[in-house]
């Protein structure tokens, strides 16, 4: 697949990892051009099994992705609509498409991610932020609206109702360590360590079968808002999908043939075993 000719970012593939670097002067504003680029990127990724991990980062030294473009917000209708008439916003559709990608997605945040930029980050599977550089905010309540790019919905699922309402209704900045404590990011890292950490994580995940990565994502996401019985069925469904498309059977047989299951050494060193078995195709 070809990842080029985007207006708001550059994309570079290195083996099974695609790095997307936002670079849209002056402030990486989240407007229609960026949403169009993300929509086209998602369409390509949905059909590309060669990419297993997507890392989103920014070329701007102070901003990850800025808020949604006020130009398309101020042009919205001021007429209320009924629940029956309401349709998803373009912003919601695009960020949901990013969230639903079969690849693992990682946001590497080394600057401001406010409003729509914060909502984009929340749409990624994993989020890591640099201490002393990353700042987060949902400012919409102060503008007279609400987070409308999945911010209210995804944040509640991520951190719980009370914490989500604190973040949304306070409309104030919080830093990487606070974000880690809140649960909006996976981990806060020193500025000189975030790059190597994300790179190692992305490369590690990229060694696993694409079908297995997708199956894990689908099952975890399904568990968020379904009864436990339905979530367990979803796990079983995706287990069969992965077993039919990956070398899982061969790997289990290899482990059994080599006495891995009953070896105390292997029990102590599962990290080495799970990476070493990637050679079994």
Residue of 72, 217, 215 whose CA lies nearest to 148: 72
pLDDT tens by residue, 223-267: 887 777 777 777 678 777 787 888 877 887 877 777 766 666 766
Cβ contacts of residue 249 below 8 Å, gap of 6+? 243
Across 63-87, average pLDDT: 80
Is residue 162 over pLDDT 80? yes
Q: Where are the domains of the chain?
A: 9-206, 210-277
Return the CATH superfamily for domain 9-206: 2-enoyl-CoA Hydratase; Chain A, domain 1 (3.90.226.10)
Instruction: For residues 17 and 118, give the distance between their C-alpha atoms in angstroms, rounded to a whole number.
Output: 23
Highest mean predicted confidence (pLDDT) among 46-55, 149-158, 224-233: 46-55
pTM: 0.88
Task: Report the catalytic residues.
Answer: 68, 116, 119, 140
Cβ contacts of residue 198 below 8 Å, gap of 6+? 55, 106, 108, 128
Residue of 141, 129, 123 whose CA lies nearest to 174: 129
132, two tokens: 């002393």
Q: What burial letters (b/e) apply to 258-269, b meaning 16+ CB within 10 Å?
A: eebeeeeeeeee
Q: Residue 275: its pLDDT value, please?
A: 77
Helix axes 161-170, 151-159, angle to 10 degrees: 140
Percent of the chain residues topping a pLDDT of 70: 94
């Amino acid at each position: 697949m070809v990842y080029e000719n985007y207006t708001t970012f550059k994309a570079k593939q290195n083996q099974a990892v695609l790095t997307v670097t936002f670079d849209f002067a002056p402030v990486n504003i989240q407007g229609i051009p960026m949403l169009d680029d993300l929509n086209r990127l998602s369409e390509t990724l949905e059909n590309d099994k060669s990419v297993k991990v997507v890392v989103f980062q920014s070329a701007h030294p102070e901003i990850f992705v800025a808020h949604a473009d006020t130009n398309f917000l101020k042009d919205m209708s001021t007429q209320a609509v009924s629940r029956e008439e309401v349709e998803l916003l373009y912003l919601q559709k695009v960020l949901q498409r990013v969230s639903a990608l079969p690849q693992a997605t990682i946001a590497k945040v080394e600057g401001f991610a406010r409003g729509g930029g914060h909502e984009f980050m929340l749409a990624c599977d994993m989020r890591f932020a640099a201490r002393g550089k990353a700042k987060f905010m949902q400012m919409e309540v102060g503008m007279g609206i609400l987070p409308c790019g999945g911010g209210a919905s995804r944040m509640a699922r991520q951190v719980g109702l009370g914490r989500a309402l604190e973040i949304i209704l306070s409309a104030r900045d919080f830093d990487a360590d606070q974000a880690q404590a809140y649960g909006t990011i996976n981990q806060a890292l020193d500025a000189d360590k975030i790059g190597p950490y994300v790179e190692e994580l992305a490369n590690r995940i990229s060694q696993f079968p694409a079908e297995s990565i997708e199956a894990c994502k689908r099952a975890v996401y399904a568990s968020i808002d379904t009864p436990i019985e339905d979530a367990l069925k979803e796990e079983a469904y995706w287990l069969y999908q992965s077993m039919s498309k990956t070398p899982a059977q061969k790997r289990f047989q290899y482990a059994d043939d080599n006495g891995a299951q009953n070896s105390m050494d292997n029990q102590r060193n599962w990290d080495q075993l799970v990476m070493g078995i990637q050679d079994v195709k």
